[in-house]
């Protein structure tokens, strides 16, 4: 579902609330969650949850819905097992014709992935191999995960906090190249597309740039002797 799609769907729920007063979507991306927060904040009761604290993909529960119906699986490895990667776990799930919005976060280093609970029995029966190597699955009922974002922290000086100027510095692109990225809807601030070069960046903003990664602005309060802004930021690892 796109950001536009979730906006239309949530608008429909607001215009004609379901008779059961319960709404539970599949997993939403960060962009879709940003749209939801903009639309629903201070309007109706709602929650976003992805199965554990710090989850990136989350399901939206509206009105009186309070059961998120998320199942956490952990893959047990043996001596002959292939290395687990995000790509081979996701690829195996999608090879079973499971839609991407039915799949939550994948934590490859721990062999953990989240899915909507409707698929629980199907996955137990069908998710039996990765790259032709047999595996064993375990359902984790009491999920105790709390992921903390890790960054490669850096600093640079910028003439202004205009979006094109900031992108130019953190990607080592020219201002013109940065402007093309912005104008082609390849840049997001706080998970929403921004297509204006003059948009000002502020502290704690998360800037996502297609093919260049995701960055968070930490500090803009200091200036150099030449009057430029000292920008402290981190690239997500």
What local confidence, expressed as pLDDT, does residue 216 receive? 98
Does 196 fall in a domain?
yes
Nearest partner of 235 among 177, 185, 182, 172, judged by Cα: 172
Region of 191 please: left (phi>0), alpha (psi -120 to 50) or beta: left
Collapse the DSSP code of 20 into the 3-class scheme (helix H, G, I; strand E, B; otherwise coil) and give the result. coil
Nearest partner of 34 among 64, 62, 65, 2, judged by Cα: 2
**Tokens 């904040």 identify what position?**
41
CATH number at 176 reads 3.10.290.10
| pLDDT for residue 228 is more than 80 | yes
Token pair for residue 126? 């069908």
Pick from 93, 115, 140: which residue ends a domain?
Answer: 140
What local confidence, expressed as pLDDT, does residue 1 receive? 64
Model's pTM, two decimal places? Answer: 0.82
213 vs 208: CA distance, rounded Å? 6
Q: Is the same domain home to 75 and 46?
A: no
What local confidence, expressed as pLDDT, does residue 56 receive? 95
Does 146 fall in a domain?
no
171 vs 35: CA distance, rounded Å? 27
User: How many domains does the chain contain in total?
Assistant: 3
Pick from 140, 175, 195: which residue ends a domain?
Answer: 140
Q: Residue 18: which pLDDT band, with cuts at 50, 70 and 90? A: low
| pLDDT for residue 97 is more than 90 | yes
Instruction: Give the structural domain span for 129.
Output: 70-140
Q: Is the same domain home to 122 and 172?
A: no
- Number of residues that make up the chain: 237
Greatest mean pLDDT among 18-27, 71-80, 136-145, 218-227 lies in 218-227
What b-and-e string marks burial along 79-115, b requiring 16 or more CB atoms within 10 Å of the CB?
eebeebeeebbbebbeeeebeebebbbbbbeebbbbb
């Amino acid at each position: 579902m796109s950001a536009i799609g979730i906006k239309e769907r949530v608008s429909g729920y607001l215009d004609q609330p379901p008779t059961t007063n319960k709404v539970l979507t599949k997993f939403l991306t960060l962009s879709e969650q940003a749209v939801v927060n903009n639309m629903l904040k201070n309007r109706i009761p709602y929650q976003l949850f992805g199965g554990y604290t710090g989850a990136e993909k989350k399901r939206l529960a509206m009105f009186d819905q309070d059961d998120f119906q998320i199942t956490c699986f952990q893959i047990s490895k043996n001596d002959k097992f292939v290395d687990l990667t995000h790509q081979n776990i996701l690829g195996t799930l999608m090879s079973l014709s499971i839609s991407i919005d039915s799949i939550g976060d994948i934590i490859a280093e721990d062999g953990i992935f989240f899915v909507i609970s409707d698929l629980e029995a199907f996955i137990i029966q069908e998710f039996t191999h990765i790259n032709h190597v047999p595996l064993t699955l375990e359902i984790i009922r009491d999920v105790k995960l709390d992921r903390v974002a890790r960054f490669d922290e850096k600093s640079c000086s910028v003439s202004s906090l205009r979006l094109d100027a900031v992108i130019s510095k953190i990607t080592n692109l020219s201002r013109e190249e940065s402007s093309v990225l912005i104008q082609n809807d390849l840049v997001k601030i706080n998970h929403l597309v921004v297509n204006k070069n003059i948009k000002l960046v502020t502290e704690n903003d998360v800037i996502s740039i297609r093919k260049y990664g995701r960055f968070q602005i930490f500090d803009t309060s200091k200036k150099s002797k030449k009057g430029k802004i000292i920008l402290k930021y981190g690239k997500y690892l």
